[in-house]
């Protein structure tokens, strides 16, 4: 809402310190930058670099601007963004059309606070806030979580049933019920699978359970009584169950035996704590005796639970044997994936789930990994990558029109291109856990190792840092391109209304948003972490656990704000370059949950998003060590999740669908729509309760729901839309049938493309004729030249028509818009001297004062030529297309080539010293567009040109006159005038010129049309002065350059140019091509001196030559 109190920090400064915006009126406290959730393994405190990085990191100071809801009468979002370019300190601005927001790039961190104030004063601005910066950081150890209880009201499953009190596991171990005991029940055990372990002692013998109750050491061949089932308990202990069905017991005497006892579940005498030693061995500590188990001397052959310390006899080597209820892939590093499968029982039971389903025979599922990108060439990931079906690889074209060229596997929002290659490692590591290719005899295995298609959405750069605004774009892209869920192992800054809105839109589109809980080791209920703390129902917030089943020391927790826990410490997975490595963090826990969500959805594709979330939460394994850490107090379990998913009744959306949809936009603002959407309803509405209207993406996926209407039995229903902004990636509207159970899918939608009705706000300038190139009488051919609108923001193209008197004739053709913008100034513009001649804009400011500021906005490409410049160095400056120019020692003339796109030139002076000022010229390219008219008999000799947006024209035409050239009776037309002439005076005497005149022909075929060229001296009006004239015949060899020697010639008064005309037997053409006449004159300096030699070596000089130039140097 507009009264949000949001506190953010800018990016770290160059010296590493944190620059904080202190704005007392908007902010009451400062959140430190939150880490993006990668924790290094123990003993590896430094982030490892991947060399060489693909792209340089961009550290910019940026602001997110939110506008009030448009009312249809004010300026459009694009117009507002264009105005932002004129604000002092704005380098560039970019629209976020789905949000009625914009992102502004500041020229410096220091000026951000002042810029915030200026932006907030703009018309329609509701809120302006610094763009949050998030980045990867190391693990930070934190306090243990509070052992608080959780209320039914905080648990979706319990609250949905109207239960009161405290949530506890029900008898089935899966669902929840309410009880009065606040503590997690730690007496019960979890069912064990069919996998077993054997324990080899220091002496070489294996622990064996005999049928008569004795437990000893076996030194012979392998025997099945050496195999024990591991039964984990919620209190963190385990029991070892023999093949006889008995438990190992630490008896009161200290001996370890197996007894047939009168209870099914193990008690404290039968529980042991697994102690993991640094040498890879495991020790057992009895819960009842609090002593370690030792394998006594081989001669005794017994086990005793009576040792206070661990020595060799108390150590055992564990051998794990998978059971028949598991499907274990053959990947060579699967044994390192403790989070998938571990003998200690604190894993997610992935092999047990894979015995049921691995994703085979599924329809496939797109998972968006919003991170640092993915190494899509990695052997374990390359076959798992999403491929954009509407993009042709490597052709350099945006085939699907979504704004990204060659976005084959996703997009890079940090660098604004279509290549999301990971130049860090974080995103690739997360991806391997989600969907690393399984059973390929190499590397690792993902939770969902068949059927997933990984969409790489990079918004974090090579340093692990990124912007909230880029994350928003990634979420929008994911929804538009069909991702069912996104994995988000990142966080930072404070709450962002823009990010929250983006996640809510994703929720309405049915996308699950899995988010890491954070690495500060703090309580998210007290210190919120974003995005995991947003209240959106589609978020699953994930804490991290260790292989011991405990909450990882770095992991954030939250009884009300964290949903589940998953393995996150020392996780082995893919990294760029075809390699593998271990990382720790809630970043590593998050992809375990993302992979499980994908596996469930592949298994039951018709389940709703909320059903998948409920299954994940309701199937967790409760742990006493996790009590108070999350809503569920548990760790995810894949086997339980698939068992529970099999019991769920999938939603039953309507099977009868709307028959049609029509919509005509009547809103004249470009980029907005309004009008009536008319739905042709289903023939049979027996299962339809209402119809839901959505935007539909370029890729054909349903996006935001914009309106709905109840089914009434009528043949048609009308929804009136008002002043809606067309989001990015949208191509049209679609309507689906819906009922209380679910909405029908996009495949059943009736859709219509949006034809944005918009009226151009300005029309073309002058229309001219480039001359007839067809020498036949009655025929014309040549270039129709159109001066573009001064601002083409609302122009898509120009329509060219024949004109016959008052009547408009047939359409001749179209000229596309180039988004051209003529120079315009905002700020202290009245202080600048401005003029324009022959398409060159001149700007001058001399003897300036303090505190001047002006911004000139225009479009490139262009050339800026600075001809004089004197300012106070560093403090007073011109900034041209990002290049800052300051001081009194700038080499003149200084030429800056400005690239295409929206550009600015900024003038700024501070409050101290002043200097002589500056002068520059600005020459844009592309101001005049050409339409090549093919040879034809014209219906008239007049054309008119109208600006258009889509199908709508601005009825303010510009008119041009054509002329017919007859080669037999006329001199060459304007089309045959030289394209360019060049001349450099080599005579250094004043009022005398000599040199070589170079003439470049027009490029048209001149055979028989042009036989000679004539050059004369002309004044500023183009009229001939003096008697000098040079004539040269067109050579027969068709030379590309014709050279005319000019002997020493007196320059008459008023001569300003050399002009060249084409001619033939009939005479000289009327159109001349000219070049400025520069009379180069030797101008000796007034004085010069040498400081003296300061080099002590013989035959070698060093010193300073000082030159006092001529008082009025000319031509140099």
Cα 454 from chain centroid? 16
* Whole-number Å distance between alpha carbons of 54 and 72: 44
Pairing of strands 797-804, 942-949: antiparallel
Per-position DSSP letters for 82-121, written without gaps between them: HHHTTSTTEEEEEEETTTTEEEEEES-STTHHHHHHHHHT
Structure tokens at 124: 């329609």
**Which residue among 426, 429, 529, 793 is the active-site one?**
426
Question: Interhelix angle for 609-618 vs 638-647, to 10°?
Answer: 130
* Whole-number Å distance between alpha carbons of 672 and 962: 39
Q: Decide if 366 contacts 474 (C-beta within 8 A).
A: no
Q: For residue 253, give Cα distances in angstroms to 246, 250, 288, 291, 295.
A: 19, 8, 12, 12, 15
Structure tokens at 47: 């982030």
DSSP 122: S
* Whole-number Å distance between alpha carbons of 1106 and 1089: 5
Kind and range of the H or E run holding 384: none
Per-position DSSP letters for 225-251, written without gaps between them: GG-BEEEEBTTS-EEEE-TTS-EEEE-
In the block, tokens 């997690």 appear at 184
b or e along 881-905 (b: 16 or more beta carbons within 10 Å of the residue's beta carbon)? beeebbeeebeeebebebeeebbbb
Cβ atoms within 10 Å, residue 273: 16
371 is catalytic: yes
Residues β-bridged to residue 980: 1000
587 is catalytic: yes
Q: At 725, phi and psi to the nearest 5?
A: -80, 135
User: Considering only CA atoms, which of 1062, 767, 1107, 819 is closest in space to residue 928?
Assistant: 767
b or e along 553-567 (b: 16 or more beta carbons within 10 Å of the residue's beta carbon)? bbbbbbbbbbbbbbb
Angle at 798 between CA 793 and CA 801, to 5 degrees: 160
Between the CA atoms of 1015, 1019, 1021 and 1024, what dihedral angle is there, to the nearest 10 degrees?
-50
**Which residue among 76, 489, 532, 587 is the active-site one?**
587
| 3-state secondary structure at position 1028 | strand
* Whole-number Å distance between alpha carbons of 782 and 1040: 21
Burial (CB count <10 Å: 0-12, 13-18, 19+), residue 836: exposed
* Whole-number Å distance between alpha carbons of 190 and 208: 23
Q: For residue 901, give Cα distances in angstroms to 791, 822, 925, 990, 1057.
A: 13, 12, 12, 44, 34
Question: Across the beta sheet with 1012-1018, what order do the strands follow?
Answer: 1024-1033, 1012-1018, 1057-1064, 1067-1076
Q: Decide if 642 contacts 600 (C-beta within 8 A).
A: yes
Structure tokens at 548: 């011991």
**Which residue among 371, 406, 618, 756 is the active-site one?**
371
- What are the residue ranges of helices labelled H in 387-488? 426-435, 468-480
Query: What is the number of residues in the chain?
Result: 1116
Q: Decide if 228 contacts 303 (C-beta within 8 A).
A: no
- CA Rg, the chain, in Å? 39
By annotation, the residues acting in catalysis are: 371, 426, 587
């Amino acid at each position: 809402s507009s009264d949000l109190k949001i506190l953010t920090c800018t990016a770290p400064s160059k010296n590493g310190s944190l620059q904080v915006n202190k704005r007392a009126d908007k902010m009451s406290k400062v959140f430190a930058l939150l880490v993006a959730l990668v924790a290094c393994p123990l003993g590896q405190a430094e982030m490892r670099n991947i060399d060489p990085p693909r792209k340089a990191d961009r550290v910019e100071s940026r602001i997110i601007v939110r506008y009030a809801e448009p009312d249809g009468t004010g300026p459009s979002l694009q117009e507002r963004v264009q105005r932002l370019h004129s604000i002092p300190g704005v380098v560039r601005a970019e629209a976020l059309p789905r949000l009625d927001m914009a992102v502004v790039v500041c020229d410096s961190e220091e000026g951000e606070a002042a810029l915030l104030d200026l932006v907030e004063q703009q018309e329609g601005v509701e809120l302006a806030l610094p763009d949050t910066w998030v980045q990867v950081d190391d693990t930070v150890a934190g306090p243990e979580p509070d052992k608080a209880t959780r209320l039914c009201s905080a648990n979706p499953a319990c609250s949905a049933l109207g239960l009161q009190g405290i949530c506890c596991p029900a008898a089935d171990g899966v669902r929840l019920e309410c009880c009065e005991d606040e503590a997690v029940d730690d007496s019960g055990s979890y069912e064990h699978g069919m996998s077993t372990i054997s324990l080899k002692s220091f002496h070489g013998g294996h622990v064996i359970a005999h049928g008569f109750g004795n437990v000893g050491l076996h030194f012979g061949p392998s025997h099945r009584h050496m195999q024990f089932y591991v039964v984990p308990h919620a209190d963190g202990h385990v029991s070892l169950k023999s093949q006889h069905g008995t438990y190992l017991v630490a008896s009161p005497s200290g001996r370890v035996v197996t007894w047939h006892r009168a209870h099914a579940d193990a008690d404290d005498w039968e529980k042991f704590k697994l102690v993991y030693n640094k040498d890879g061995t495991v020790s057992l500590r009895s819960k009842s005796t609090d002593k370690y188990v030792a394998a006594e001397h081989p001669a005794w052959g017994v086990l005793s639970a009576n040792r206070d310390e661990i020595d060799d006899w108390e150590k055992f080597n564990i051998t794990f044997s998978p059971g028949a209820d598991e499907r274990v892939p053959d990947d060579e590093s699967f044994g390192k994936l403790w989070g998938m499968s571990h003998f200690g029982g604190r894993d997610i039971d992935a092999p047990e789930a894979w015995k049921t389903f691995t994703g085979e025979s599924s329809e496939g599922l797109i998972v968006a990994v919003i991170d640092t990108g993915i190494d899509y060439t990695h052997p374990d990931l390359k076959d798992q990558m999403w491929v954009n079906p509407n993009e042709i690889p490597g052709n350099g074209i945006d085939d699907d029109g979504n704004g990204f060229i060659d976005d084959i596997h996703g997009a890079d929002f940090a660098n604004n291109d279509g290549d999301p290659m990971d130049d860090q490692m974080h995103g690739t590591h997360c991806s391997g856990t989600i969907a690393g290719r399984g059973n390929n005899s190499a590397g690792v295995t993902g939770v969902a190792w068949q059927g997933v298609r990984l969409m790489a959405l990079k918004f974090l750069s090579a340093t692990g840092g990124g912007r909230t605004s880029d994350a928003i774009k990634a979420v929008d892209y994911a929804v538009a391109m069909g991702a069912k869920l996104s994995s988000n192992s990142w966080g930072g800054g404070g709450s962002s209304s823009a990010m929250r809105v983006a996640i809510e839109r994703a929720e309405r589109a049915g996308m699950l948003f899995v988010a890491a809980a954070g690495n500060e080791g703090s309580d998210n209920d007290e210190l919120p972490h974003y995005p995991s703390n947003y209240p959106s129902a589609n978020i699953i917030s994930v804490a991290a656990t260790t292989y011991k089943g405990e909450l990882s020391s770095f992991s954030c927790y939250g009884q009300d704000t964290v949903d589940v826990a998953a393995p996150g410490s020392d996780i082995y997975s893919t990294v760029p370059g075809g390699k593998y490595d271990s990382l720790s963090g809630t970043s590593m826990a998050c992809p375990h949950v993302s992979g499980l969500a994908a596996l469930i959805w592949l298994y039951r594709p018709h389940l709703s998003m909320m059903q998948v979330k409920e299954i994940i939460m309701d199937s967790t394994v409760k742990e006493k060590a996790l009590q108070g850490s999350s809503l569920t107090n548990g760790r995810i379990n894949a086997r339980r999740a698939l068992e529970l998913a099999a019991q769920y009744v999938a939603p039953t959306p309507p099977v009868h669908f709307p028959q049609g949809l029509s919509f005509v936009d009547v809103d004249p603002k470009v980029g907005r729509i309004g009008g009536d959407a008319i739905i042709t309803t289903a023939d049979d509405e027996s299962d339809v309760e209402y119809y839901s209207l959505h935007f539909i993406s370029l890729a054909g996926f349903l996006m935001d729901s914009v309106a709905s209407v109840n089914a009434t039995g009528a043949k048609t229903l009308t929804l009136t839309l008002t002043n809606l902004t067309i989001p990015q990636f949208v191509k049209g509207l679609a309507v689906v049938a819906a009922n209380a159970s679910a909405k029908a899918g996009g495949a059943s939608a009736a859709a219509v493309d949006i034809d944005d009705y918009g009226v151009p706000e300005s029309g073309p300038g002058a229309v001219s004729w480039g001359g007839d190139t067809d020498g036949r009488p009655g025929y014309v051919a040549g270039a129709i030249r159109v001066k573009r609108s001064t601002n083409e923001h609302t122009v898509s193209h120009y329509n060219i028509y024949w004109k016959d008197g008052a009547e408009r004739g047939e359409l001749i053709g179209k000229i596309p818009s180039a988004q051209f913008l003529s120079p315009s100034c905002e700020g202290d513009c009245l202080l600048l001297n401005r003029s324009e001649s022959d398409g060159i804009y001149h700007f001058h400011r001399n003897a300036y004062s303090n505190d001047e500021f002006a911004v000139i906005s225009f479009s490139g490409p262009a050339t800026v030529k600075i001809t004089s410049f004197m300012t106070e160095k560093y403090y007073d400056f011109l900034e041209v297309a990002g290049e800052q120019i300051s001081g009194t020692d700038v080499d003149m003339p200084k030429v800056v080539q400005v690239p295409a796109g929206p550009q600015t030139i900024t003038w700024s002076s501070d409050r101290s010293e002043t200097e002589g000022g500056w002068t520059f010229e600005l020459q844009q390219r592309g101001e005049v567009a050409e339409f090549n008219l093919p040879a034809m008999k014209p219906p008239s000799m007049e054309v008119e040109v109208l600006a258009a947006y889509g199908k709508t024209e601005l009825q303010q035409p510009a008119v041009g006159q054509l002329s017919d050239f007859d080669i037999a009776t006329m001199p060459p037309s304007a089309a045959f005038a030289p394209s360019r002439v060049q001349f450099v005076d080599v005579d250094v005497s004043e009022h005398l010129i000599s040199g070589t005149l170079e003439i470049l022909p027009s490029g048209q075929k001149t055979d028989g049309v042009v036989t000679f060229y004539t050059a004369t001296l002309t004044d500023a009006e183009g009229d001939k002065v003096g008697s000098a004239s040079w004539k040269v015949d067109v050579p027969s060899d068709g030379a590309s350059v014709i050279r005319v020697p000019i002997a020493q010639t007196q320059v008459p008064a008023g001569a300003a140019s050399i002009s060249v005309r084409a001619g033939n037997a009939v005479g000289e053409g009327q159109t001349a091509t000219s070049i400025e006449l520069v009379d180069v004159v030797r101008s000796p300096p007034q004085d010069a001196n040498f400081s003296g030699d300061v080099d002590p070596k013989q035959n070698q000089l060093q010193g300073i030559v000082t030159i006092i130039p001529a008082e009025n140097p000319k031509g140099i």
